[in-house]
């Protein structure tokens, strides 16, 4: 007897429809799974068998063949357990033929017949070729984000009884109400002083400019970086869906809060492996930190401590906005459009102040070499962050604007940028930059001087123009770039790449 | 000359060829080389080394039987003809003490190098010479000052002597080489610690080429011998011997520069020091020298004046005071007055800046200005020549000295 049930499997962050075919025939009792299952998928046999028996159902002592079609696609994980079990029931005539039509089962079986949640339900349910996705209770909120007709079940027995008409389909409410509260984002109003750094954050948020902060330990670099997502506007519908998919695939989505409307913040440690950073993995292709930060902020603390290979791997996503992971048997493209914020100590000893640094020249050269990769070129904004002095730390009057106020300006500035046909000013290059960021004569003169003195490179001058444009957007000023905008941009982009004076 | 091996049987081979080999042996510095040469002529000593028949070394020389064995093994793979041809091929000149072309100023020294290698034009040693020395870990202030001194001294016809190390050395040479094109200044002199085939450090390679082009690079170490750390202090005595005046721009309280200063004082060379901030580690040594009675070097004229005295008191040597052209004395004052006083926010920021490199953020805190007026003030100050900014730091400029260009710009 043959039965087939639609389900889906995950590759990277994309769902792919899969048809589970089960054939039960006479012969020596055996159970084979074909169609490129990975190890955990092949183990389905033992889980399905125990679950059937625990649920008071029969395990046919016959020749059982499970085929996962299309065969060319590698199937990973335990999400196909329920589909295999149901198809087996139909093939073994324990449920009437045709009773499974329209159902798209998804979920991992426990040995006691209970259903466990799996990762990536959002993209899986999205592509499933069935009228009613059937998901474990844990995944209901996530499934409802894309398919409002999703049905949640707790155990295999429940499904069996509902199909047989012995009991109604169970009614399960999603865990919590859908809400997109900002709630736990740290607020900019808690930052005292940091006049330049605050402006840098605002400009980074408004223009999508990558930001590099150098400063001694305790200067507040991490504290500032954490506040950047709070300045970014809410994600639009498409972006929210893309971001939610990635987080669903990585099992980091908090589905009870609905689609991810707020930009994510990821701060991988410098000891993270290359695969953890950019995505990949031998059996399951998982999205890396660059993809999890997509739509939001990727914060690399201690940039100089990251291995050179890791930093090199960041160049593709920075350039293309996607991460392509190629493996022998699969090739996936993961979204990776993030705002890069990096922090670094000025030197290995961390002091970096004029004359107080105790690092040897060779140590400094090594440190500089690490950072002087082409990656450093991508940071439009490079600032020095100082620890605030005692007066500022306790001064009430310095308590600055809240994130909400700044976010309002940022949103308006982004709107101006979108009129130019780009999502942020960072993406303006060449002709487009020439056209949108024309210079007033005084401003042109200033840039010419800096170019002539060698303080700025041609590329640097281009980035300064993009920054100045963002600054004008924030001030809601139109027209050619004014001298003052270029002056401000020059403060935000310190020329040269050394964060120590005189070297 | 009876041949030790058939290959060295060349009649035109000068005795320097064997000297090169002896100086190339592991761990051989001036003292051990002198001992070796006290045993006979270079070819004879070389044969003794190769045959392992050296007499027992004097006590305290540190030459162990193990080291002698090592030399013997090394000698088996070395050939005087090849060494000599190698120098010729690289364009490296070789002179030995007492031979023709050996610089007279070194010949008169208390501890002259037995053999000297040079790349470039050794005639620049005929000009008056000033050694500019200092720490490798220089601050922007030190780099700027060294570069200014290097340039202005070269323009005045003084050969700037330094060690081609990072920091002050490189800045001084960079200043000296920048003065040359078309201005008829003196060429720079560099004394390095390793072989001339591979100038060290690598980061200064381009600068080294520039020095070779406009002046001369000297070493007492044969090509192919790496610059072991112990060779640098040994090299410092040559710097002290060559400089008729020694200027320390920046130095920590202990370090290679202070060693050079001791060598200079032992040779009765005037030592000048550039004063620096009292809380800067990089100026600790120079400020200490000043408090111990060294002459302060506040401008190039101070060095030229000291040079005039020293050339008179030592009776001239190869240099003549008349060869020194003093720059117009009022250059500095004119520059100082040329800068318009800043007003308003700019004055506020300049006051907050002080004399240390400071980040814009700190300036905002100190001056109480918001971002926009601060950036306007900084741009204004930079336009007027009061500050320079590099690498995220703002630094005050003294006396309107033009800021040095970044080396790789």
Chain A interface disruption, residue of B166, B257, B359, B406, most A CBs within 10 A: B359
B136 contacts A491? CB cut-off 8 A: no
| pLDDT tens digits, B171-210 | 999 888 887 655 567 889 999 988 888 766 777 888 888 8
Strand pairing partners for B218?
B118, B191
Cβ contact A354–B139 (<8 Å): yes
**B59/B261: higher pLDDT:** B261
| CA distances, A266 to each of A142, A245, A378 (Å) | 21, 16, 19
pLDDT of residue A373: 62
Contact A487 B379 (CB under 8 A): yes
If one counts every other C-beta atom within 10 angstroms of the C-beta of residue B310, the result is 20
A392 touches chain B (CB under 8 A): yes
Report which listed range, B42-46, B253-257, B268-272, is most confident.
Answer: B268-272
The percent of residues in chain B predicted with pLDDT above 70, rounded, is 85
- Asked if B390 and A457 come within 8 Å (Cβ–Cβ), the reply is no
CA distance B333 to B329: 8
How far B15 CA sits from the closest chain A CA (Å)? Answer: 39
What are the b/e assignments for B32-69, b being 16+ CB within 10 Å? bbebbbeeeebbebbbbbbeeebeebeeeeebeeebbe
Q: How many residues appear in chain B?
A: 409
Average of per-residue pLDDT across A356-363: 71
pLDDT of residue A396: 52
Chain A residues in contact with B409 by the CB 8 A cut-off are 454-455, 457
Whether residue A196 and residue B277 make contact (CB cut-off 8 A), yes or no, is no
Question: Which range, A191-200, A289-298, B323-332, is most confident?
Answer: A289-298
Q: Best of A354, A450, A494 to disrupt the B interface by mutation (most B CBs within 10 Å)? A: A354
CA distance linking residue B305 with residue B312, whole number of Å = 11
pLDDT range class, residue B326, cuts 50, 70, 90: very low
Q: Looking at the complex, report in whole angstroms how far the Cα of residue B138 sits from the nearest Cα belonging to chain A.
A: 7
> Which residues in chain A have their CB less than 8 angstroms from residue B142's CB?
502
In order of A338, A496, B37, the CA distances from B409 in angstroms are 31, 9, 48
In order, the DSSP letters of A296-365 are: SEEEESSGGGS-HHHHHHTHHHHHHSEEEEE-SS-EEEEE---EEEEEE-SSTTS---TTT----HHHHH
The mean pLDDT of A77-101, rounded to a whole number, is 91
The DSSP bridge partners found for residue B129 are B159
Residue A98 sits at the chain B interface (C-beta within 8 Å): no
Mean pLDDT of A416-436: 86
pLDDT at A450: 84
Task: Tell whether the model's pLDDT for residue A393 goes beyond 70.
Answer: no
**pLDDT > 90 fraction of chain A, expressed in percent and rounded:** 36
Cα distances from A330 to residues A172, A250, A479, in angstroms, run 37, 18, 49
For residues A432 and A422, is the Cβ–Cβ distance under 8 A? yes
Confidence of residue B241 (pLDDT cuts 50, 70, 90): very high
Per CB-CB distance under 8 Å, the chain B contacts of A365 are 203
Q: How far is A458 from chain B (nearest CA, A)?
A: 11
CA distance B171 to A289: 44
> What is the predicted pLDDT for the residue at A41?
83
Measured in angstroms, the CA of A79 and the nearest CA of chain B are apart by 53
Confidence of residue B316 (pLDDT cuts 50, 70, 90): very low
Range scoring the smallest mean pLDDT among A79-88, B130-139, B250-259, B303-312: B303-312
Task: Answer whether A404 touches B (CB < 8 Å).
Answer: no
Q: Ranked by mean pLDDT, which of B15-19, B113-117, B223-227 comes out on top?
A: B113-117
CA distance A36 to A72: 7
DSSP class of B103: -
Interface test with A, best of B143, B369, B391 (most A CBs within 10 A): B391
Cβ contact B365–A389 (<8 Å): yes
Q: Does residue B402 surpass a pLDDT of 60?
A: no
With an 8 Å Cβ cutoff, is A390 touching chain B?
no
A199 pLDDT higher than 70: yes
Query: CA B262 to CA A245: how far, in whole Å?
Result: 71
- Which tens digits make up the pLDDT trace of A37-51? 888 888 888 999 999
pLDDT classification of B407: cutoffs 50, 70, 90:
very low
Q: Which of B280, B365, B391 sits opposite A500 (nearest CB)?
A: B391
Q: Residue A303, preceding bond cis, omega within 30 degrees? A: no
Q: Is the pLDDT of residue A10 over 80?
A: yes
Whole-prediction pTM value?
0.68
Q: Is B357 on the interface with A (CB under 8 A)?
A: yes
B14's CB contacts (< 8 A; 6+ apart) are: B84
The ipTM estimated for the assembled molecules is 0.75
The partner residue sitting opposite B378, judged by closest CB among A215, A355, A491, is: A491
Q: Running DSSP on this structure, what letter comes out for residue A37? A: B
Query: Strand, coil or helix: what is A421?
Result: coil
- Residue B322: pLDDT band (50, 70, 90) is very low
B168 min Cα distance to partner chain A (Å): 11
pLDDT band at B12 (very low <50, low <70, confident <90, very high): low
Report helix angle B360-367 to A195-207, nearest 10. Answer: 130
- Asked whether B115 and B94 are in contact (CB, 8 A), the reply is yes
Residue-wise pLDDT tens digits, A91-131: 999 999 989 898 999 999 999 999 998 988 989 999 988 88
| Contact at CB, B391 and A495, closer than 8 angstroms | yes
Q: pLDDT above 90 covers what percent of chain B? A: 17
The chain-wide mean pLDDT, for chain A, equals: 85
- Tens of pLDDT, residue by residue over A444-467, are 998 898 888 777 788 888 889 999
Give the per-residue pLDDT at A224: 92
What phi-psi label fits residue A121: left (phi over 0), alpha (psi between -120 and 50 degrees) or beta?
Answer: alpha
Best A206, A406, A501 member to test B by mutation, with max B CBs in 10 Å, is A501
Residue B283 exposure: Cα atoms within 13 Å on the Cβ side = 21
Is the model's pLDDT at B124 over the cut of 90?
Answer: no
Q: Is the Cβ pair B361, A195 closer than 8 Å?
A: yes
Average pLDDT (B388-397) is 76
State the nearest Cα–Cα gap between B111 and chain A, in angstroms. 30
B120 touches A at CB < 8 Å: no
Assigned token pair, B30:
């001036």
- Give the model's confidence band at A499: pLDDT under 50 very low, under 70 low, under 90 confident, else very high: very low
**Which residues of chain A lie closer than 8 angstroms to B365, CB-CB?**
193, 195, 386, 388-389, 392
- A214/B375 CB distance under 8 A: no
**Do residues A82 and A121 touch, judged by C-beta distance below 8 A?**
no
Give the pLDDT score at A161: 93
What is the token pair recorded at A296? 């939001």
Q: Per residue in B360-375, pLDDT tens?
A: 888 888 888 888 999 9
Contact between A403 and A185 under an 8 Å Cβ cutoff? The reply is yes
Query: Looking at per-residue confidence, does A28 or B100 come out higher?
Result: A28
What's the gap in Å between the CA of B396 and the closest CA on chain A?
12
pLDDT of residue B323: 45
């Amino acid at each position: 007897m043959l039965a087939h049930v639609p389900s889906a499997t995950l590759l990277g962050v994309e769902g792919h429809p899969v048809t589970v075919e089960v054939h039960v025939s006479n012969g020596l009792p055996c159970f084979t799974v074909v169609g490129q299952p990975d190890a955990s998928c092949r183990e389905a046999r033992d889980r399905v068998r125990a679950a059937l028996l625990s649920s008071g159902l029969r395990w046919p002592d016959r020749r059982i063949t499970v085929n996962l079609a299309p065969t060319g696609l590698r199937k990973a994980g335990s999400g196909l357990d329920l589909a295999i079990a149901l198809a087996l029931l139909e093939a073994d005539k324990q449920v009437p033929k045709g009773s499974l039509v329209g159902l798209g089962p998804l979920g991992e079986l426990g040995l006691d017949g209970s259903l466990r949640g799996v990762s990536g339900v959002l993209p899986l349910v999205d592509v499933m070729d069935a009228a009613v996705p059937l998901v474990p209770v844990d995944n209901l909120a996530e499934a409802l984000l894309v398919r409002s007709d999703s049905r949640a079940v707790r155990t295999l027995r429940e499904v069996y009884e509902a199909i047989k008409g012995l009991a109604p389909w169970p009614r399960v409410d999603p865990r919590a109400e859908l809400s997109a509260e900002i709630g736990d984002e740290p607020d900019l109003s808690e930052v005292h002083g940091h006049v330049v750094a605050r402006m840098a954050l605002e400009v980074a948020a408004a223009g999508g400019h990558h930001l590099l902060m150098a400063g001694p330990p305790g200067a507040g670099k991490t504290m500032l970086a954490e506040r950047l997502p709070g300045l970014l506007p809410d994600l639009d519908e498409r972006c929210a869906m893309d971001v939610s998919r990635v987080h669903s695939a990585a099992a980091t989505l908090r589905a009870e809060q609905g689609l991810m409307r707020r930009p994510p913040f990821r701060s991988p440690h410098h000891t993270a492996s290359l695969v953890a950073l950019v995505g990949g993995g031998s059996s399951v292709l998982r999205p890396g930190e660059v993809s999890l930060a997509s739509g939001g902020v990727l914060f690399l603390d201690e940039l100089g401590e990251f291995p050179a290979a890791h930093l090199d791997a960041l160049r593709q996503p920075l350039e293309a906005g996607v991460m392509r992971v190629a493996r022998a048997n699969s090739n996936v493209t993961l979204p990776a459009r993030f705002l890069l914020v990096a922090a670094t100590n000025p030197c290995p000893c961390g002091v970096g102040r004029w004359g107080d640094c105790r690092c040897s020249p060779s140590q400094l050269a090594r440190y500089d070499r690490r950072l002087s990769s082409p990656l450093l070129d991508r940071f439009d904004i490079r600032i020095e962050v100082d620890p605030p002095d005692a007066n500022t730390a306790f001064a009430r009057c310095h308590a600055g604007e809240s994130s909400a106020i700044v976010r309002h300006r940022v949103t308006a500035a982004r709107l101006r940028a979108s009129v130019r046909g780009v999502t942020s000013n960072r993406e303006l290059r060449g002709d487009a930059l020439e056209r949108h960021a024309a210079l007033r004569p005084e401003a042109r003169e200033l840039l010419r001087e800096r170019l002539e003195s060698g303080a700025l490179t041609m590329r640097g001058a281009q980035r300064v123009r993009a920054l100045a444009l963002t600054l004008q957007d924030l001030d809601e000023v139109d027209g050619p770039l004014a001298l003052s905008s270029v002056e401000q941009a020059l403060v935000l982009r310190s020329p040269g790449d050394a964060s120590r004076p005189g070297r | 000359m009876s041949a030790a091996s058939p290959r060295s049987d060349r009649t035109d081979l000068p005795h320097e060829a064997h000297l090169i080999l002896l100086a190339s042996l592991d761990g051989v510095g001036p003292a051990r080389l002198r001992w070796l040469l006290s045993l006979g002529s270079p070819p004879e000593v070389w044969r003794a080394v190769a045959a392992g028949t050296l007499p027992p070394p004097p006590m305290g020389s540190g030459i162990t039987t193990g080291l002698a064995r090592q030399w013997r093994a090394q000698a088996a793979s070395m050939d005087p003809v090849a060494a000599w041809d190698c120098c010729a091929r690289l364009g490296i000149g070789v002179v030995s003490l007492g031979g023709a072309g050996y610089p007279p100023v070194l010949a008169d020294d208390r501890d002259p190098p037995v053999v000297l290698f040079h790349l470039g034009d050794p005639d620049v040693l005929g000009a008056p010479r000033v050694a500019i020395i200092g720490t490798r870990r220089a601050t922007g202030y030190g780099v700027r000052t060294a570069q200014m001194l290097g340039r202005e001294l070269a323009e005045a016809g003084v050969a700037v002597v330094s060690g081609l190390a990072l920091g002050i050395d490189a800045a001084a040479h960079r200043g000296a080489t920048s003065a040359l094109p078309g201005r008829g200044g003196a060429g720079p002199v560099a004394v390095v610690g390793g072989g001339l085939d591979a100038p060290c450090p690598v980061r200064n390679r381009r600068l080294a080429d520039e020095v070779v082009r406009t002046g001369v690079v000297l070493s007492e170490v044969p090509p192919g011998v790496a610059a072991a750390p112990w060779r640098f202090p040994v090299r410092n005595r040559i710097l002290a011997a060559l400089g008729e005046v020694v200027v320390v721009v920046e130095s920590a309280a202990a370090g290679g520069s202070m060693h050079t200063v001791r060598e200079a004082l032992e040779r009765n060379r005037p030592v000048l020091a550039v004063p620096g901030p009292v809380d800067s580690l990089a100026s600790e040594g120079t400020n200490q020298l000043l408090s111990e009675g060294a002459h302060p070097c506040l401008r190039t004229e101070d060095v030229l004046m000291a040079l005039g005295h020293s050339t008179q008191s030592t009776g001239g040597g190869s240099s003549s005071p008349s060869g020194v052209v003093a720059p117009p004395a009022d250059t500095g004052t004119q520059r100082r007055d040329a800068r318009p006083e800043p007003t308003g926010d700019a004055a506020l920021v300049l006051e907050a800046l002080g004399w240390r490199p400071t980040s814009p953020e700190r300036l905002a805190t100190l001056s109480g200005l918001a971002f926009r007026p601060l950036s306007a003030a900084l741009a204004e100050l930079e336009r007027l020549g009061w500050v320079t900014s590099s690498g995220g730091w703002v630094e005050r400029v003294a006396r309107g000295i033009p800021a040095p260009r970044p080396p790789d710009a």
